């Protein structure tokens, strides 16, 4: 688990089976690729669907299956780019920039902004 409680990174599973089960449960599959529709053209529809979103981030040679099974093939730009950057931009658009201000009341550590150095606060 990383970030919010309802945000997960899953590894070590059969990706095709995982996507298939996700869709069977009614979730949306958003595939980030430079070949898709521009994120700004589809993000409102994804946000307003009010369904769980599985974000598939591929690298080189993504199997055709993921392009076909995705509800949305989304590009943050139509030039080669970093997969991490694509995910960051997609999430920023999805949360309309609010994720930069999330404060978790149950966080074990908290970073306090400061102009120089680092200030880490450990919560009990």
DSSP letter, residue 100? G
Question: pLDDT tens for residues 79-105?
Answer: 877 888 999 999 999 999 888 888 777
Asked if residue 4 lies in contact with residue 50, where contact means CB atoms within 8 angstroms, the answer is no
Residue 35 DSSP SS3: strand
- 72-75: strand order across its sheet: 53-57, 28-38, 72-75
Over residues 43-88, the pLDDT tens digits come to 999 999 989 999 998 777 889 999 999 999 999 888 877 888 999 9
- The domains found in the chain, sorted by start residue, are 15-122 (3.40.1280.10)
Helix (H) or strand (E) segment spanning residue 41: helix 39-48
The pLDDT, as a whole number, for residue 93 is 94
Coil, strand or helix: which one is 70?
coil
């Amino acid at each position: 688990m990383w970030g919010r409680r309802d945000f997960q990174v899953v590894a070590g599973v059969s990706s095709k089976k995982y996507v298939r089960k996700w869709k069977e449960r009614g979730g949306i599959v958003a595939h980030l690729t430079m070949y898709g529709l521009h994120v700004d053209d589809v993000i409102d529809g994804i946000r307003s669907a009010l369904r769980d979103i599985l974000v598939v981030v591929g690298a080189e040679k993504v199997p055709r299956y993921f392009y076909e099974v995705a509800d949305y093939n989304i590009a943050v730009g139509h030039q080669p780019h970093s997969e991490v950057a694509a995910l960051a931009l997609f999430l920023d658009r999805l949360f309309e920039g609010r994720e930069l201000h999330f404060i978790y009341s149950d966080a074990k550590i908290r970073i306090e902004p400061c102009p120089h150095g680092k200030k880490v606060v450990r919560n009990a």
